[in-house]
Amino acid sequence: MRKFLIDTDTASDDAVALIMAHRWPGIRVEAVTVVSGNVPVEQGVKNALYTLEVCNAATPIFIGCSKPILRASSYAHWFHGDDGMGNKNYPEAKSKAQPAHATEVIIDTIKTYPGEITLVTLGPLTNIATALLRAPEIASLVQRCVIMGGAANTVGNVTPAAEYNIWVDPEAAKIVFHSGMQIEMVGWELSRHDAALTAAEIEAITSFGTETARLAMECNKTALDASINIQSAPGLMLPDPVAMAVALDPGIVKRQGKYFVDVEITSELTRGATIVDELGVLHKIPNITVVWSIDVSRWKEHLYTCLRS
């Protein structure tokens, strides 16, 4: 069994990614830790608990940092709805979050399984950076760290230069990017264009008739409207599930490479931009594996397989 640790700011696309991780054979999710991002951290916990209840999963969930390291919180209600789940206001799950703090759990889990954990981050990197500040030695103990975040030398989705997760807490992202962890950056752009779900594909998924398919498409209706009307997408973009697909099946990656990547933290104009030194002009040691393209057909088939059950 491969061991996953998932850090999330649970909103609608995060929910789909959580479903995928819990439906993929050979994966054990050791814990789900929640961070402030798309929604306040308490709402993110509620969304995670409800999603796992729909999955019939008993993975423990832990509450983490309630705000970025240095900056005020900036939620994504405009994309995911006020509750993060398309304003569906789902009922509270029967289960509750565990009492330990997420950062403690991140440190303890990685140390308990040195060299075995695939860390998948779906939100701002506040929890991960805080854990690294407390225990920097965990960086070398993580097998893989798949980050849904950044934009590899392309436009952002919250500013012209930056992707939301990195923009929310750029200081945290800078700490993580320079930690020495084996990081794979899966930028938001990989969910654009042909990777977005068309109306016909959404209808096909809904027709599966499973509870997971229902939740996945229902809670993303606000995100679908925002994808089309704000970001000019051809359909529903699902950046977190795309990153999860890379974590689950590295074989979907068509092109990647290791580069020096830094995060802008001082400029208001380009705050949170992920600067990929694609041509090596800075002559700095590469620190991040950047995913440039994926097999779109394979990504979608993985999504369908996970939502059929």
Give the up-direction half-sphere exposure of residue 221: CA atoms within 13 A in the CB hemisphere: 11
The tens-digit pLDDT sequence of the chain (309 residues) is 999 999 999 999 999 999 999 999 999 999 999 999 999 999 999 999 999 999 999 999 999 999 999 999 999 999 999 999 999 999 999 999 999 999 999 999 999 999 999 999 999 999 999 999 999 999 999 999 999 999 999 999 999 999 999 999 999 999 999 999 999 999 999 999 999 999 999 999 999 999 999 999 999 999 999 999 999 999 999 999 999 999 999 999 999 999 999 999 999 999 999 999 999 999 999 999 999 999 999 999 999 999 998
Q: Which of 35, 152, 57, 49 is nearest to 96 (CA)?
A: 49
Residue 274: phi and psi, rounded to 5, are -100, 110
The reported pLDDT for the residue numbered 103 is 98
Q: Which of 180, 176, 169, 113 is nearest to 147 (CA)?
A: 176
Alpha-carbon separation of residue 145 from 55, 164, 222, 257 (angstroms): 24, 18, 29, 15
Domain boundaries, the chain: 2-307
pTM: 0.98
Enumerate residues 6+ apart whose C-beta is below 8 A from 301: none
CATH for 2-307 (3.90.780.10, 3.40.50.300, 3.40.640.10, 3.90.245.10)? 3.90.245.10
The reported pLDDT for the residue numbered 196 is 98
The reported pLDDT for the residue numbered 309 is 87
The reported pLDDT for the residue numbered 116 is 98
Kindly give the pairing relationship between strand 117-121 and strand 61-63.
unpaired
| Angstrom distance (rounded) from CA 149 to CA 189 | 10
- At residue 164, the 3 state secondary structure works out as helix
The helix-helix angle for 170-177 and 126-134 (nearest 10°) equals: 50
